[in-house]
Structure 1
Amino acid sequence: MNILDTAHAVVHDYPGGCESLAPRIGMSAQVLRNKANPNTDTHHLTLKNAIDVTAMTDDDRILEAWARERGYALVKVPDVGNCNDAAIVELMGEAWATHGDVGQEICKTLEDGRVELTEVDRVEQRIFKHAQVLFNISARLRGMAE
């Protein structure tokens, strides 16, 4: 999903949609609806709007989509207080699961003998998610270092 479609989804997935979110970020529901509409050429979310929406919704999909479009995997810096053996074991389980997701998506992509761009996009999404988990393990281990 591209960043404009992602912004639209984040705004509309917020409980109560535009009507509930807009006043919390200082604009009318109609203005937010127009700004979040990827098919509107006259209104656009500003960077400040995107930051406000992300903060208010506590939804990082816009940031993740931007990072993905730029070729980056976004990794949340872990809370040092949460760095312990149990957290690492939990993340290892998640890493095994996301590794399996990558393999499954590649198998689905190749099963008909053709590779389509939408399939490659899905494989990349699984790879980015897997990379995020691996980098998170590394960051947590760093947080545990004495």
Structure 2
Amino acid sequence: MSKRWPTSRDRAEREILPLNLSLYHAARDYPGGGKAIAAIYGVPATTLQHRLNPNADTHKLTVDDLEYVLEASRDTRILDSLLALVPGAHWFEYDEESSECSEQQLMESVAKLSTQVGNLLTRISEHRRDGVYHEHEVAELKKLKYQLFGSIKALVVVAQQFEGEVRHG
């Protein structure tokens, strides 16, 4: 039985990718692709697509390209890639629309955190079976760890909001 070599799409789901690859995948997965993003911002579609191509050495991404793809796609892989460059930095998405915090929201945050902890422990257990951590396994565990840290921060924010609603007496 042969082992299938992981595609870049497989890697994008399991690992934190280098920034150029996360931008490429975000644009490719956006409805209409890079052409649609270029149309939104009024830039030449061919130029943007060449810059996003990870195999094109003659075209380099600019900060503007990063902004266009991130703003249009809101793809979390880009944020993961950016913050992987800064040790100890993590991000979480804060939902400003739900300024009121309920006990239900708090419980949902705890449930999400528990699921992520369980997923991380399951993957660690699976990767330890052979006694060797391979590079792709370490990359996957690192991504799960960063997601877990983001969920912890989100839980703290929700808990602090809920704290203000507690009534004594």
Aligned match of 1:120 in 134, 138, 149? 138
Give the aligned partner of residue 112 of structure 2.
94
TM-score normalized with structure 2 length = 0.79
Does structure 1 conserve the Cα–Cα contact (< 8 Å) formed by 2:48 and 2:65?
Answer: no
Which range moves more in the overlay, 111-120 or 95-104?
Answer: 111-120
Deviation at 1:119, TM superposition (A): 0.7
Q: In the alignment, does 2:103 pair up with 1:76?
A: no
Deviation at 1:145, TM superposition (A): 4.1
Deviation at 1:99, TM superposition (A): 0.2
The separation in 2 between residues aligned to 1:36 and 1:82, in whole angstroms, is 40
Amino acid at match of 1:104: T
Where does structure 2 lack aligned partners over 5 or more consecutive residues? 1-16, 165-169
Amino acid at match of 1:39: N
Deviation at 1:123, TM superposition (A): 0.6
- Structure 1 runs of 4+ aligned residues shifted over 4 Å read none
Amino acid at match of 2:117: H
What is the aligned residue count?
Answer: 146
Q: Which of 1 and 2 has greater Rg?
A: 2
Structure with higher helix content = 1
Which range moves more in the overlay, 40-49 or 133-142?
Answer: 40-49
Q: CA 1:16–1:78 in 2, change beyond 3 Å: closer, same or farther?
A: closer
Give the aligned partner of residue 64 of structure 2.
48
Percent identity between the two aligned chains: 21
Aligned match of 1:32 in 48, 51, 55? 48
Q: How well do the aligned residues superpose, as a CA RMSD in angstroms?
A: 1.6
TM-score normalized with structure 1 length = 0.90
Give the aligned partner of residue 107 of structure 1.
125
Which range moves more in the overlay, 70-79 or 28-37?
Answer: 70-79
Deviation at 1:70, TM superposition (A): 2.0
